[in-house]
Structures are given as structure tokens and as C-alpha cells.
């Protein structure tokens, strides 16, 4: 295997997660109230029973997915996995993401592995049922600036696309040139050719980038039972027309979510996604624009399109494919279609999913269990050698740069730098002085307090000057530690938010995927540190 050890640590130790995520992991009482079921096997047993009482468009799902896969070679085992969706005893675990260039940041792959592993966890716990991992491609997202690049080999590779509208519908015709750039930049990596073949097979000769992304995921995870679905499908949206109608006429999402927003404000949590009055876009070739209501008319912003209520409902019935849910309505669309037990997402996703319990209730749908995906940190051989030289535990690098430097200075220095003892003595001196002076004139107390504050401030400045001078003496070892921190947190981010999975795939090939499949497990709710 490419990494010889895998250590599990609590996410809190990384200082990389929001208050919402930490409170979620600690299952604070106010967080529990935002979820339908606890993240336990008992919670999953409850969720299964709830979904047994509902009808889902299972035949439609199988037909649509089979049609979406028609250009791919699928094994009999994969076909059997798809056919399981027809059974009322089959349930799903879903993760989702937009159609990023070559899958985008590494966390795209980590969330996929987490979904597959959770389906396996459930299969082991509930052998009388079947569990299918689903990757939902949010192909209608139109934010091309967010999706058009990857960071690889110290370079930012940008896909020069500007078609407009749903990114998943874009042509991958320029991907051949990007693949050539990767081949040129990656010379000398042991699995470069395997990686190039993977990308060429996935993206060349495809009609859309969604087709390419589906093919890439199938190549990497098809044998693990993953099924990919594209939300941009007329048949799926036709099944969801009644919910689209409710959103247009009743603004269900906007009204129902208000109680969650109040709850978030009360507990000083960041609202990750703010609702619109109508949480729908109008989707056309080259365009995805918000629908708003002004008076008695519905308008598509930045266009000439205007509808009366009767006209927009007729248009919805005739062309449901033109209606695109936003980030808050998409989960309703997704869980209306699938008998879904869990959604696997990152910290930001978790935050907006926790806003949605009243929205699911308004649409009379069961809310899935919201699970935090796995996070991983990779300590490659060169970084490991650097860590051995500075002799700091890896947890030290989760602190900010100044705290880490101060730790090194205190360890390396032969002279006591901290003036804590002197500060305590100075405080005692002024307390004694204040008592004596107060006996003479109580009015002197305020003057002595001011002098005490000045003296303590001066002492603090002296301590900082001593620390800076000592840091200069140990500048070499501090710079080494800073370079290690840059390896572990490139551009100040977790590796998974900066690097593409190709950063590791070109080095380790499919063994990298096997490693993740072996070691990650979202039920553990840990960060995995892989080291060589």
C-alpha cells in the first residue's frame, strides 16, 4: 500500500472545522433537534422503517439510470446492483457534487468513498436489506468559476469554458488539451500513464462533461457498486412537477425554513445557504436564471421571459426540464426520488442540510440522516523526513503559525523566555502597594491601578521582544516547520480542499483508491492521517 500507517484523530484537533461541525460531532442538544434521526445504527433502523411506509418511483429510477449509462460498459454485477433498486427492501446512501473539472478537489473522491463505505456498514448491520451508494451529479450548477480548475504539481490548470448555463451540459472538447498539460507536467510519476488513460477514456469523445464525470466515477468506483445519476433529466423532473408547483405557488421552502433560521441565530451559527422566495431557476441552453415573482407575474431575471400564474403552470407541465432547483430545494428533489437513508457531505453541506428539517416536513418527506464525510491528511515521505528533523508531533502543525513557532522557540531555547513568573511577582507588588496606599488615602487606589496596568503592558512588550529575538536565533528550524505546515495545509487549506485526487493517483495509481476504501469509515467520525 502507498502509505504504511493510518492514524485516527478527532476532527476538533485539526482546528479546521466550524462551530456547527464541532457541535454536530459533540451532538449538542440543539443540534439533535435539527436532525430526524441520530447518527447511530439505531437511528438507521428507525429511518428504514419510515421509508418502508412510502412509495418511491423505483422503476423510473432504474430506467433513467440505465439510459444515462448506455454509453458505458457495465458488468453483470453492476447491472444487478442497479436492479436491486426496484426492490422495496433496497435503500440508498447519497452524496452529491457539481460537475467539477476532472472531479475537482480531493474531497470529491473522499465523499464518494464515504458513501460507499456507509452503504457497506449498513449492509453488514442489516443483512436482510440491500443498500446502494448513489452519487448525484449537480450538473445544473452554473458557477463555472468555481468548477473550472484543479491544482496539480504546483500549477493551477484552468478549463477555458464559457458556454453559459448548466456546467454539466458543457462540451468536454477542450479537455484533450488539459490532459496533454497534465501529461507534460507529470513526467516521472510512476502512474502517470495509467492516470492519462483514465482521463482519456472518461472524457474524450463524450458529449457533455456530465457524461465524462459519470464515466470517471464508474471507472474508479463501478466495481465497488457505486451508481451515478444526473439530476438534469426530463423524466425525473416530470415526476417532481407537483413539488415544483408548490414552490412556485406557495413558496414552501422560504416559509418553512424560517424556524431553522431563527434557531441558527439563537445559537450564533452561520447560515450556510439563505432561501429565496422562490428557490427555482429557469434552465435553457446557455442560461440558468432565477425565477422571481413581481405582483401577479413570474419573471426570469436578466431575460425578457414573463409568465402569468396560468402560463407558468402550463409551461411547467409541458417542459419540467426547464425548472432547476437551487441548493435548498435540490435535497427535496433528491429524496423525493430515492428511498434515501443518509446524505454524506462536508462541513459546509452539513450546515445547510441542518437548516432543512422543517422544509422536509413541509413537503411531507422523511429527512435523511446527515453524515459528515471522511477527511484525510497525507504525510508523504519527504514531509515525514522533515517532521523527523524538527521532532514535533504532527498535531503541532494544526496550530496557527505563530503558536507553532512559539512552541519551537520554547523547546529550543536555553534561556527562560516566559515572564509569567515576573508578571505574577509584579502583580503581587502592586497589590501590596495598593493596600498600603489605601490606608493613607483611598483616592490613590485608582492611580496605582493605572501604574500597574502600564507596568504589566511594558513587561508584556519586553517578553514579546525576547521571543522575537529568540525566534531569530532559531530561524532555520522555524522555517523548516513552516514548510511542513505548507505541505500539510497548501495555500492554508486542508490538502483535500486544494489538491486534485490526481496529485496522488499519478503517484500511487489505483492502490490509492484501495487505501481509501480500506481505511475510511464515516461512522467513526475521525480524521485519518496517512503516513509513509
Is the dihedral angle over the CA atoms 243, 244, 246, 247 positive or is it negative? positive
Question: Cα separations (Å) of 322 from 53, 275, 293, 479?
Answer: 31, 20, 17, 55
Q: Strands across the sheet with 369-372, in order? A: 227-230, 130-138, 90-98, 340-345, 369-372
Q: What is the 3-state secondary structure (H, E, C) of 148-182?
A: CEEEECCEEEECCCCCCCCHHHCCCCCHHHHHHHH
Q: How far apart are CA 276 and CA 292, in angstroms?
A: 9
Over residues 254-278, the pLDDT tens digits come to: 999 999 999 999 998 889 999 999 9
Task: Enter the DSSP assignment of 135.
Answer: E
Position 159 scores a pLDDT of: 97
Nearest to 252 by CA among 221, 279, 292: 279
- In the block, residue with C-alpha cell 507553532: 404
Position 368 scores a pLDDT of: 98
Question: Cα separations (Å) of 433 from 58, 417, 420?
Answer: 82, 27, 20
Mean pLDDT over 156-181 rounds to 96
- In the block, residue with C-alpha cell 503541532: 396
Nearest to 328 by CA among 377, 383, 407, 255: 255
Q: Examine the pLDDT at 463 and tell me if it is beyond 80.
A: yes
Give the orientation angle of helix 241-250 with respect to helix 309-318, to 10 degrees. Answer: 160
Q: Which of 55-69, 100-114, 300-314, 466-480 has the lowest mean pLDDT?
A: 466-480
Cβ atoms of 138 and 111 within 8 Å: the answer is no
Nearest to 147 by CA among 161, 127, 130, 128: 161
Q: Examine the pLDDT at 391 and tell me if it is beyond 90.
A: no
Q: How far apart are CA 514 and CA 209, in angstroms?
A: 26
Q: How far apart are CA 69 and CA 456, in angstroms?
A: 71
Q: Please, what is the end-to-end C-alpha distance for the chain in angstroms?
A: 10
Q: How far apart are CA 204 and CA 290, in angstroms?
A: 32
Over residues 487-518, the pLDDT tens digits come to: 999 999 999 999 999 999 999 999 999 999 99
Q: How far apart are CA 84 and CA 135, in angstroms?
A: 16
Task: Enter the DSSP assignment of 367.
Answer: P
Position 292 scores a pLDDT of: 98
| H or E element, residue 93 | strand 90-98
Nearest to 332 by CA among 68, 94, 63: 94
Q: Which three cell numbers stand for residue 394?
A: 504532527
Q: Examine the pLDDT at 208 and tell me if it is beyond 80.
A: yes
Nearest to 257 by CA among 127, 193, 353: 353
pLDDT tier, 363 (very low <50, low <70, confident <90, very high otherwise): very high
Q: How far apart are CA 473 and CA 108, in angstroms?
A: 43
Mean pLDDT over 464-476 rounds to 74
Q: What percentage of the chain exceeds 70 in pLDDT?
A: 98
Over residues 56-115, the pLDDT tens digits come to: 999 999 999 999 999 999 999 999 999 999 999 999 999 999 999 999 999 999 999 999
More confident: 86 or 396: 86
pLDDT tier, 403 (very low <50, low <70, confident <90, very high otherwise): confident
The total of other beta-carbon atoms located within 10 Å of residue 120's CB is 17
Q: Summarize the chain as % helix, strand, coil (round to 5).
A: 55, 15, 30
Which residues, 6 or more positions from 511, have their beta carbon under 8 angstroms from its beta carbon? 1, 2
**What's the mean pLDDT when you consider all of the chain?**
94
Q: How far apart are CA 182 and CA 153, in angstroms?
A: 9
Over residues 430-451, the pLDDT tens digits come to: 989 888 888 888 888 888 989 9
Q: Examine the pLDDT at 404 and tell me if it is beyond 90.
A: no
Q: Examine the pLDDT at 53 and tell me if it is beyond 80.
A: yes
E-strand ranges in 213-367 read 227-230, 280-284, 287-294, 297-300, 306-308, 323-325, 340-345
Over residues 123-165, the pLDDT tens digits come to: 999 999 999 999 999 999 999 999 999 999 999 999 999 899 9
Cβ atoms of 102 and 500 within 8 Å: the answer is yes
| H or E element, residue 371 | strand 369-372
Q: Examine the pLDDT at 197 and tell me if it is beyond 90.
A: yes
Q: How far apart are CA 132 and CA 116, in angstroms?
A: 8
Amino acid at each position: 500500500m502507498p502509505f504504511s500507517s493510518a492514524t485516527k484523530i478527532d476532527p476538533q484537533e485539526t482546528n479546521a472545522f466550524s462551530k456547527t461541525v464541532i457541535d454536530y460531532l459533540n451532538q449538542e442538544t440543539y443540534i439533535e433537534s435539527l436532525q430526524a434521526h441520530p447518527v447511530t445504527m439505531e437511528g438507521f433502523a428507525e429511518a428504514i422503517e419510515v421509508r418502508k411506509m412510502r412509495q418511491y418511483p423505483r422503476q423510473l429510477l432504474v430506467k433513467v439510470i440505465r439510459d444515462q449509462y448506455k454509453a458505458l460498459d457495465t458488468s453483470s454485477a453492476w447491472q444487478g446492483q442497479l436492479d436491486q433498486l426496484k426492490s422495496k427492501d433496497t435503500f440508498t446512501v447519497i452524496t452529491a457534487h457539481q460537475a467539477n473539472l476532472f472531479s475537482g478537489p480531493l474531497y470529491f473522491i473522499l465523499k464518494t468513498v464515504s458513501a460507499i463505505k456507509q452503504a457497506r456498514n449498513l449492509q453488514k448491520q442489516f443483512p436482510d436489506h440491500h443498500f446502494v451508494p448513489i452519487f448525484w451529479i449537480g450538473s445544473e450548477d452554473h458557477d463555472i468559476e468555481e468548477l473550472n480548475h484543479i491544482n496539480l504539481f504546483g500549477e493551477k490548470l484552468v478549463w477555458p469554458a464559457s458556454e453559459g448555463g448548466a456546467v454539466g451540459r458543457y462540451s468536454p472538447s477542450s479537455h484533450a488539451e488539459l490532459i496533454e498539460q497534465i501529461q507534460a507536467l507529470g513526467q516521472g510519476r510512476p502512474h502517470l500513464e495509467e492516470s492519462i488513460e483514465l482521463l482519456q477514456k472518461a472524457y474524450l469523445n463524450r458529449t457533455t462533461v456530465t457524461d465524462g464525470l459519470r464515466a470517471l466515477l464508474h471507472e474508479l468506483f463501478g466495481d465497488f457498486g457505486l451508481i451515478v445519476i444526473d439530476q438534469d433529466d426530463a423524466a425525473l423532473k416530470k415526476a417532481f412537477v407537483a413539488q415544483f408547483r408548490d414552490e412556485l405557488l406557495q413558496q414552501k421552502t422560504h416559509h418553512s425554513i424560517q424556524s431553522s433560521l431563527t434557531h441558527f441565530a439563537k445559537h450564533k451559527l452561520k447560515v450556510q445557504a439563505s432561501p429565496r422566495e422562490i428557490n427555482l431557476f429557469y434552465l435553457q441552453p446557455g442560461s440558468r436564471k432565477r425565477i422571481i415573482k413581481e405582483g401577479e407575474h413570474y419573471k426570469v431575471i436578466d431575460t425578457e421571459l414573463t409568465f402569468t400564474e396560468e402560463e407558468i403552470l402550463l409551461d411547467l407541465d409541458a417542459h419540467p426540464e426547464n425548472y432547476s432547483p437551487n441548493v435548498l430545494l435540490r435535497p427535496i428533489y433528491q429524496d423525493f426520488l430515492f428511498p434515501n437513508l443518509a446524505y454524506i457531505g462536508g462541513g459546509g453541506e452539513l450546515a445547510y442540510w441542518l437548516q432543512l428539517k422543517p422544509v422536509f416536513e413541509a413537503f411531507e418527506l422523511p429527512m435523511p440522516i446527515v453524515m459528515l464525510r471522511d477527511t484525510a491528511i497525507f504525510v508523504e515521505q519527504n514531509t515525514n523526513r522533515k517532521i523527523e528533523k524538527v521532532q514535533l508531533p504532527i498535531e503541532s502543525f494544526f496550530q496557527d503559525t505563530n503558536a507553532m513557532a512559539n512552541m519551537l522557540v520554547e523547546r529550543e531555547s536555553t534561556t527562560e523566555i516566559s515572564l509569567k513568573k515576573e508578571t505574577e511577582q509584579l502583580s503581587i507588588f502592586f497589590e501590596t502597594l495598593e493596600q498600603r496606599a489605601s490606608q493613607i488615602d483611598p483616592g490613590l487606589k485608582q492611580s496605582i491601578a493605572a501604574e500597574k496596568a502600564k507596568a504589566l503592558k511594558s513587561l508584556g512588550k519586553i517578553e514579546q521582544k525576547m521571543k522575537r529575538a529568540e525566534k531569530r536565533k532559531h530561524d532555520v528550524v522555524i522555517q523548516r516547520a513552516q514548510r511542513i505546515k505548507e505541505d500539510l495545509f497548501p495555500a492554508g487549506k486542508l490538502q483535500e480542499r486544494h489538491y486534485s485526487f490526481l496529485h496522488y493517483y499519478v503517484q500511487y495509481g489505483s492502490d490509492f483508491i484501495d487505501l481509501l476504501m480500506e481505511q475510511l469509515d464515516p461512522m467513526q467520525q475521525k480524521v485519518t492521517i496517512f503516513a509513509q
